[in-house]
Amino acid sequence: MQTLLDTLLIFRRHLSLSLRNPAWVVIGLTQPVLYLIFFGPLLVSALRSRGSDVTEAEAWQVYVPGLLVQLSLFGSGFVGFGIIGEWRMGIIERMRVTPVSRLALLLGRVLRDMTVQLIQSVLLIGVGTAFGLRAPIPGVLLGLGFVLLISMSLASLSYTAGLLIKSEDAFAPLLSAVSVPLMLLSGVLLPMSLAPDWLNFVSHLNPFRYIVEAMRDVFRGDYATTGVLIGVIVAVVLAAASVTFGTRTFRRENV
């Protein structure tokens, strides 16, 4: 119970900091919305060129779930910069002398980031709907559930990396080296089934590929598929492993 109260305390503090500068909503949505506007109209032609007889609505059901994953990859991946600043200002050091749960120090921040990603994802789906996206409400809700799990995983790993590295100069290239391949090999822009055989094979090593495919299934209204089951398992295991690793790091750095 005390851990839950501590988590809510940390969550409210960090959420209030975000609300003081609401521009984060627009800034965080800039890149995926630009992809939606400039790349999305090309998707129907790209899919049809490979013999796929898809409608415009079906093309958006392929593209928007990928953009949601992209939004989470970059939005949650960058949060580690914040904790580096907190460490440099001595905030983490002052937290060490408080009775606040070390687990709550991580979960409170992660819960804030999940809230941010949820708001941005809803707005992105709204923009996608204006462009032609048509998806069943249960599928959209399940897709948002995947977004929350991805955000939990990536935010936890980002805070962990930031707390271990403690340098923006080192963290930035590490983030780019990891996030860009994860994005490209997950098939967020185009299904990896369109890739050459060797690239398609390599993409199977990327856990986010399975999550993207599962989200595309639910956006089409296909819930009882093997792809959805695999995506759920991968997302849950990744979130649990990330939070566990992050919690151990917070405890080690705050004793």
CA distance 216 to 136: 12
Q: What is the C-alpha to C-alpha distance for residues 28 and 79, in angstroms, rounded to an integer?
A: 12
Could you report the per-residue pLDDT of 83-142, keeping only the tens digit for each?
Answer: 888 888 877 777 766 767 777 788 888 999 999 899 889 988 998 898 888 899 999 999
pLDDT of 82 higher than 90 = no
Query: What is the percentage of the chain residues whose pLDDT exceeds 70?
Result: 91
pTM of the model: 0.88
SS3 38: helix
Instruction: Give residue 75's pLDDT.
Output: 83
* The amino acid at 37: I
The sign of the torsion formed by the CA atoms of 218, 221, 223, 228 equals negative
Mean pLDDT value across the chain: 84
226 CB burial (10 A radius; 0-12, 13-18, 19+)? exposed
Of 33-47, 61-75, 179-193, give the lowest mean pLDDT range: 33-47
**Is the Cβ–Cβ distance between 54 and 44 less than 8 Å?**
yes
Question: What 3-state DSSP class applies to 212?
Answer: helix
The fraction of the chain above a pLDDT of 90, given in percent, is 28
For residue 25, pLDDT beyond 70: no
Q: Which residue has the higher pLDDT, 17 or 111?
A: 111
Among 127-131, 145-149, 194-198, name the one with the lowest average pLDDT: 194-198
Task: Decide which of 237 and 40 is more confident.
Answer: 237
Domain boundaries, given as residue ranges, for the chain:
2-253
pLDDT value for 238: 95
pLDDT at position 142, please? 96
Indicate if the pLDDT at residue 254 is higher than 60: no
Give residue 192's pLDDT band: very low, low, confident or very high (50, 70, 90): confident
Lowest-confidence region among 15-19, 97-101, 187-191: 97-101
